[in-house]
Amino acid sequence: MNDRHLREDTLSKTAVAPVTTTIETQGGNPKLNTAEVRDALLGTFKKERLESRELCKNPDLHKVAGMSMEEHRERVLKQLSILVKNNAIQRAFPKYVGGQENNGGNLAAFQELIFADPSLQIKSGVQWGLFGAAIQHLGTKKHHEMWLPDALSLKLPGAFAMTETGHGSDVSSIATTATFDEAADEFVINTPFRGAWKDYLGNAALHGKACVLFAQLITKGENHGVHAFFVPLRDDDGNFLAGIGGDDDGYKGGLNGIDNGRLHFSGVRIPRENLLNRYGDVDAEGNYSSPIASKGRRFFTMISTLVQGRVSLDGAAANAMKLAMTVAVKYSSERRQFAGPDGEETVLLDYQQHQRRLLPILAQTYAITFAGDDLLVSFDEVFSGKDTSEAASSDLETLAAALKAMSTWAALDALQAAREACGGQGFLAENRLVGMRQDLDIYVTFEGDNNVLMQLVGKRLLQDYAAQFKGKDNVTLAKQVAADLGERALNRSGLRRLAQNVTDLGSTARAVGQLRDAETQRELLTERVERMVADIAGKLRDSSKGTKAEQADAFNSVQHKLIEAAKAHAELLQWEAFTEHIEQLKDEDNRTILTWLRDLFGLSLVEKHIGWYLMNGSLSAQRAEAVSSYIDRLLTRIRPYALDLVDAFDLAPELVRAPIASGEEAARQDEARKYYAAHGKI
């Protein structure tokens, strides 16, 4: 047991007896068993995470503040070799090329690299998570044997050439072409105009010798849609091959250890065999064939194999939040400001506003971590072949889109809040918060712009909503609508259903009692999703028989509401994951403390959207006031455990590397107290 909260005077002063909780039946304050909580946070792939964290302690992998872009790029390239030497990158690949076929463990280990240097994480992701993974998932065994061994050993650095200057999220509309020349048995690659240049590509400016290029496949005058091709880029001296050119993207807002650049192609010829032909092939006569007849479904099947990028960013963002909370909570537990009633300055975290700044984010970090573990398990099931159903693949796509967007947005907010909570110290580069936020800024727009991803999630919610009415007569539909959508089974990532409408109770005390109840929180969060989706569906229903232009205008008019509904859905997923993981804990005290933390997360969401609940009559003004009141009580209750809760993240000093989280502030405070005591001022 960890009982540090009982040993520290400043913490024990704030402890209060909780109201109607499991504590009262235990006859004392609960203690956090950090070992069990640590294991819960490490999740299903604990072994791989710990291996990666141990490697990240190596100072040769750490980001050095103040390096020039050129120095940082060379340092990160050398760091990739360290990963190779330590067998840290082969987990996901086939055994016949030296891999371990451990998909979930691979991403878990990759997510931890952010503690060393986000540039290292992303450049390794470009090399093995995009370039190598595209060869693996879009190619066949002959391609694996030709190129994967050199990609794994770093003998063949590669780029992932999907995004174009003129097309980012809309991959199906990219303009680069690969036209088959039957006479030469070759594809001819062209970027027909400036907007078609491949852009923002890691490894493109300097280090890439080849790329996996996405282009419109054209043969016999017919366009068969976007396909992937292996295209050599440079010779061994680093010079572009004939017909290929490019630019350096230069200094960026973050991640300057990665050599992002642009590529363009003019009449570049590659052998027919360089088509990564798992989902589409062309024979020597130029005839196209595919195991997937539908052009649209074929495109989405190819793109879905690359979902691991979104999954990896979700976990990396959660780790950035752990770092931010570790630094801010430890510092604010030692830093003192303004004299209290006893004449001694008050610890920052004892101020309610400071608790309001940090503790809800700490609760959110737990929720995002637990939801991320569920996402990683789903990813592993699909990519290992344990679940080959179309439903599992579709659910994974939706879940990854929702959680990646929410966690990357949350990470930026957490890093900014932590920076501000640490004052001037937080602005120093040595304490890592500013640099980490700069590096993570791009996370919200790569691997899919977050707003576009949320629109995809919203469309899935509308599909789920419409599916319940399919094949039903008008009388049945009327009854179902009148019953406020009724109750139906849950699926993994689709639309949830309320068992009943949330009702208000008369007194604040009774309202608070219900707010503590998990089912009440679930209903509040679920109701918001359902009513938002139902409202959007109702607005779109009137335009369903109009022209395509009218339908497009109608959809555009509800786009913002659809994205907000998708966010509400993702918040519900995170809350549910938090709740489910608490139920798996064996230690009763841990369940008690983490339930408080889960309540803080859930009710903070309700408070955040309190206007919606009031406008829609889901909460009375009295009950809305009770939400904020109970949050304040939860903050007081959780405060004594704040240090233990960040200790459960299990971040060694070599991973944190922030002086203000090392205990140096406590030493300064001790020195100041001794000085004042010696001079009779305390």
Is 490 a domain residue? no
Q: Domains in the chain: how many in total?
A: 3
Tell me: pLDDT of 480 over 60: no
Where does a domain end: 284, 304, 324? Answer: 304
Do residues 329 and 295 both lie within one domain?
no
Is 584 a domain residue? yes
Where does a domain end: 243, 273, 304? Answer: 304
Residue 185: which CATH number?
A: 2.40.110.10
In this predicted structure, what is the pLDDT of residue 370?
Answer: 98
Do residues 568 and 681 both lie within one domain?
yes
For residues 461 and 494, give the distance between their C-alpha atoms in angstroms, rounded to a whole number.
6
For residues 595 and 579, give the distance between their C-alpha atoms in angstroms, rounded to a whole number.
8
- Mean pLDDT on 4-9: 33
Residue 613: which CATH number?
A: 1.20.140.10
Confidence of residue 669 (pLDDT cuts 50, 70, 90): confident
Do residues 330 and 207 both lie within one domain?
no
| Alpha helical stretches, state H, 69-140 | 69-85, 103-112, 118-124, 132-138
The 10s digit of each residue's pLDDT in 68-100 is: 999 999 999 999 999 999 999 999 999 999 999
Do residues 153 and 165 both lie within one domain?
no
The 10s digit of each residue's pLDDT in 554-574 is: 889 999 999 999 999 999 999
| CA nearest to 256, candidates 59, 439, 436 | 439
Sole residue written with tokens 């700069």: 438
Tell me: pLDDT of 505 over 60: no
Do residues 121 and 205 both lie within one domain?
no
Count Cβ atoms within 10 A of the Cβ of residue 165 and give its class: 0-12 exposed, 13-18 middle, 19 or more buried.
Answer: middle
For residue 228, list its beta bridge partners.
214
Crossing angle of helices 34-42 and 352-383, in 10° steps, is 50
Is 500 a domain residue? no
Where does a domain end: 158, 188, 218? Answer: 158
Do residues 421 and 561 both lie within one domain?
yes
Which residues constitute the domain of residue 137? 46-158
Do residues 149 and 172 both lie within one domain?
no
Do residues 120 and 207 both lie within one domain?
no
Say if CB 601 and CB 363 are below 8 A apart: yes
Is 56 a domain residue? yes
Do residues 633 and 678 both lie within one domain?
yes
Report the 3 state secondary structure along 640-678. Answer: HHHHHHHHCCCCCHHHHCCHHHCCHHHHHHHHHHHHHHH
| CA nearest to 299, candidates 381, 217, 378 | 217
**Model confidence pTM above 0.75:** yes
Is 81 a domain residue? yes
- Mean pLDDT on 332-357: 88
Buried b (16+ CB within 10 A) or exposed e, 617-637: ebbbeebbebbeebbebbbbb
Do residues 394 and 540 both lie within one domain?
yes
Residue 106: which CATH number?
A: 1.10.540.10
The 10s digit of each residue's pLDDT in 515-545 is: 888 999 999 999 999 999 999 998 888 787 8
Do residues 90 and 211 both lie within one domain?
no
Do residues 330 and 430 both lie within one domain?
yes
